[in-house]
Amino acid sequence: MSNLQKAFDKAKQQGRKAFIPFITAGDPTLEATEKFIYALDKAGSDIIEIGIPFSDPIADGPVIQRANIRALKNHVTLTKVFDMVATLRRTTDVPLVFLLYANTIHYYGIERFFEKCQETRIDGIIVPDLPFEEKEEFNVYAADKGVDVISLVAPTSKQRIKEIAAQAKGFLYCVSSMGVTGTRDTIQTDLKSMFETINAYCTIPTALGFGISNKEQAKVLKDHADGVIVGSAIVKLIEAYGEEAEMPLLRFAEELMEALS
């Protein structure tokens, strides 16, 4: 069982759903990112998702796009993020997942990338622009280094859900709404029907993401999946408070944790 699956099991044993916050590396600085991750860990986050800045983040809405721009202006690179994670690993064992785009891995070098993931104990990766049919290009290296390549299913996946869910690793990322990331007032997708299909074929934990932005939504949506992913709402807090976002993030994460109990 991977560390990611163990994190879901731990949350379940505590009588709650898993909480997975997302943060963009280097927004506003890598030093601040390190502090924010410690705060999210202190709040009890089960897994922390780290976004690697990219010039064309096609899956992300304006909030996370702006975070990418701020980080890139600070000359944040994958190498620098790996260095930050190596520092983090001196004091925290919280499972970490990278969200990044395929071109970043190719540019860094596929084999070298997964070797570095193993060295710094990155537990999984999410690659939004990686077609399911092309995952093997990364899987062959990832499996050897103990890294889970996390699959995504969307409301439009339909007949493909069976195949994707059956082969998923770590956890299955379930996209709640079509479009890009961002906070939403309501989720229009028929999640009940979607998860009936997913649960018929998926043997690993599921996490629901895209649009969950507050504790009220988390309370309503938590029953569908084994965990929830919250991104844009967290990035908004960082945008508002900058390097002083540590305590607001801690309070927000604690609220979400309570809502998931």
> Cis peptide leading into 62, omega within 30 of 0?
no
- State how far Cα 252 lies from the chain centre: 17
Catalytic residue among 41, 60, 148, 226: 60
Task: Count CB-CB contacts under 10 A for residue 186.
Answer: 9
Sign of the torsion angle spanned by Cα atoms 254, 256, 257, 261? positive
Nearby residues of 112 by Cβ (< 8 Å), 6 or more positions away: none
Q: How far is CA 159 from CA 30, 162, 163, in A?
A: 41, 6, 8
Q: Which two tokens stand for residue 26?
A: 């280097």
Tell me which residue of 106, 103, 3, 15 sits closest to 47, measured CA to CA.
3
Check if 49 is active-site.
yes
CB burial readout 200-237, b (16+ within 10 A) else e: eebebbbbbbbbbbebebbeebbebbbbbbbbbbbbbb
Burial (0-12, 13-18, 19+ Cβ within 10 Å), 135: middle
Question: Position of tokens 């996490």?
Answer: 207
Locate 94 and state its tokens: 């919280």
Q: Is 60 a catalytic residue?
A: yes
Please give the Cα distance from 122 to 132 (Å, whole number): 21
**Which of 27, 41, 46, 49 is labelled catalytic?**
49
Show which residues are catalytic: 49, 60
